[in-house]
Amino acid sequence: MTAASADRVALVTGASRGIGAHIVQALAGAGWTVVGLSRSGQVADGAQGVACDVTDADAVDRAVRQVVDEFGRIDLLVNNAGLIETEQPLWDADVDEWWQVMVTNVKGPFLLMRAVVPHMLSAGGGRVINLNSGSGTRESDVLTAYHASKSALARLTGGVALAGAQHGVHAFDLAPGVVESDMTHSMKLHQGRTEWTDPEDVKALVLAIADGELDGFSGRFVRAGTDELDVLRRRSAEGMGEGERMLRLRPWGAGDPLSG
């Protein structure tokens, strides 16, 4: 597909394997022009590869400029690149490994959104999908960096959704469930697991968001393998209440001074 015929352009990070490869294939199959970022520049079939360290601000800016210069636009950003640390209590954690998870999972999406969203604003709108996790909604005794990073990512998603709403920019947290991959196989948590989230469920949610079918969930969580797409479409059209599918403090009851 040439730049002149690129009607819809998606930029996907972590596009070489795993969930990123599934997302690339889904978007390309639906007719999107897909550019994939990875450290090596190698990406799944269906995407044009660009070498980029998503934690390097200059590298991210160069990669985004390259995409915009070639195709003239970026309509969809999928922040998929991520890391997980060795499973152990916080006090046993390696400092550098722990912090690298935060850098990759939080700074990376921040840099991509910071570079891409201005182009969406200029174009009159766009969508961002951040690959989040149910881990971001709860604590862990052995994965403190990963859980903290996903909680922080939800705040970035919400901030972009709020600031971008009047400009047609929407942002979503998509929890992919537990898709079979190198990462999930490496985790003690999933040793012996026999049931996995079907990648087709992830693909279906990505395409629905990309097509604008779930804009009512901007700033909120959706989860592959649990959410039914028809229900999400209906709830999106009806509108969501304050705090629904968002990270919020739960007061102990009406008498809690924080309840207001």
b/e burial code for range 24-50 (CB count within 10 A of at least 16 → b): bbbbbeeebbbbbbbeeeebbebbbbb
SS3 state of residue 137? helix
Nearest to 187 by CA among 134, 137, 143, 248: 143
Kindly list the distances between the CA atom of residue 181 and the CA atoms of 22, 55, 196, 260, in Å, as whole numbers in the listed order: 11, 22, 10, 43
Nearest C-alpha neighbor of 131 from the set 24, 244, 44: 24
Q: How far is Cα 116 from Cα 112, in angstroms, rounded to an integer?
A: 6
For 57, other C-beta atoms within 10 Å of its C-beta total 14
- Residue 49, φ and ψ in degrees, nearest 5: -90, 140
Q: Is 117 a catalytic residue?
A: no
Structure tokens at 154: 């939800």
Q: Which of 146, 172, 217, 221 is catalytic?
A: 146
Residues pairing with 222 in the sheet? 174
First to last CA, the chain: 53
> Which residues are the active-site residues?
146
